[in-house]
Amino acid sequence: MTGFLTAQGVNVRLSGRVVLRDISLALPAGHLVALVGPNGAGKTTLLRALAGLVPSDGAIMVDGDALSSLGLRERARRFAYLPQGHIVHWPLPACDIVALGRYPHGATDPARLTPKDADAVLRAMQATDVVDFAARRVTELSGGERSRVALARVLAVEAQVVLADEPTSSLDPRHQIDVMKTLRSAADRGTLVMVVTHDLGLAARFADTVMVLSEGRLVSQGAPREALSEQVMADVFRVSAFRADYQREAVIVPWAEI
């Protein structure tokens, strides 16, 4: 297999339970990949394994280097990870949170950024439109604003791979589209973006590749229409779906349980 990010026979066990079985994938740079599947399928675990946050066996390669051969800092520069929930434990100003994206590059103090780091922070804040409230504390922001700050932090890393775990959950439709468009344009600039989502509609519309996980196995992958075929929708999600094309994009709306 060739690809920018590849995995070969990856298994993950968490406290004795096999969560991922024999995952193999090869993803090119500049793609937006949607990772979908029922609850408990192992989507978050796969994201964590790719970021090196949980131990796995099998081979993961990024840009020709084995993940296991990279140090913590180097790994952090290549993979930007956005977890679910956007936890911030202290009421820090939003701009300091975004500046933490430069931590892997050695900019550990937001008050002393190099011009290069400051530029990256500014670009990320502009791309997510958070400059207006950058000086405010994150605890004072609305849910939508907070999720954009979290996304800005991830973009500020300027990593080769962005791994985002449900970046659109609990957002209103307008913000969901905003977030997906921001990630889409990051992919168009050459970043490999991988998004975990339960929203098959967003996955079908914005992703180049959809990967379907079920019970720890990768059961389907490809362009949205094929990866989310009627068969897959029935077997994996146990629903039927309304399918159509609109403005040349696939429209897939889960409709009724089977």
Partner 1 sequence: MSLQDVMATADIAARRRAGVMAGLVALVVLLMLLSLGIGAVRLSPLAVIDALFGGGSDVAQVIVREIRLPRVILGFAIGAVLGLSGAALQGLLRNPLASPSLFGAPQAAAFGAVLVISLGLADVRSWALPTAAIVAAFASVFVLLAIAGRNAGLLILILAGLAISSLAGAATALVMNLSSNPYVALEIAFWLLGSLEDRSFRHVLLALPFIVAGAIILLSQRNAFRALSLGEETAQSLGVDVGLLRLLVITGVALGVGGAVAVSGTIGFVGLVAPHLMRPLIGHDPARLLVPSALTGAALLLAADIAVRIIPSTSDIKVGVLTSIIGVPFFLYLIMRERRALGGGVA
Query: Contact residues for partner 1 (CB under 8 A)?
Result: 48, 51, 53, 72-73, 75-77, 79-81, 83, 87-93, 95-97, 100-101, 103-104, 108-111, 122, 131-135, 153
Task: Write the single-letter amino acid at 229.
Answer: S
- Minimum Å gap between C-beta 109 and partner 1 is 6
Least distance CB 117 / partner 1 (angstroms): 13
Question: What 3-state DSSP class applies to 74?
Answer: helix
Contact (CB, 8 A) for 135 and 100: no
Least gap, CB of 233 to partner 1 (angstroms): 32
Is 77 in contact with 50 (CB distance < 8 Å)? no
To the nearest whole angstrom, how small is the minimum distance from the Cβ of residue 95 to partner 1?
6
Supply the minimum distance, in Å, between the C-beta of residue 51 and partner 1. Answer: 6
Closer CB to partner 1, residue 155 or residue 202? 155
What single string gives the DSSP state of each residue in 82-116?
Answer: E-TT---SS--BHHHHHHGGGGGGT---TTS--HH
**Residue nearer to partner 1 on the CB measure, 24 or 139:** 139
**111 vs 256 by CB, closer to partner 1:** 111
User: Closest CB to partner 1 among 105 and 205?
Assistant: 105
Minimum CB separation from partner 1 for residue 52, in Å? 8
How large is the C-alpha radius of gyration of the chain?
A: 18
Given the complex with partner 1, which of 31 and 153 has the nearer CB atom? 153
Contact call for residues 230 and 254 (beta carbons, < 8 A): no
Task: Give me the DSSP letters along 45-69.
Answer: HHHHHHHTSS--EEEEEETTEEGGG
Measure the CA–CA gap between 209 and 96, rounded to whole angstroms: 34
225: how many CB neighbours lie within 10 A of its CB? 15
> With respect to partner 1, which residue has the nearer C-beta, 9 or 55?
55
Which residue is it, tokens 């490809």?
A: 222
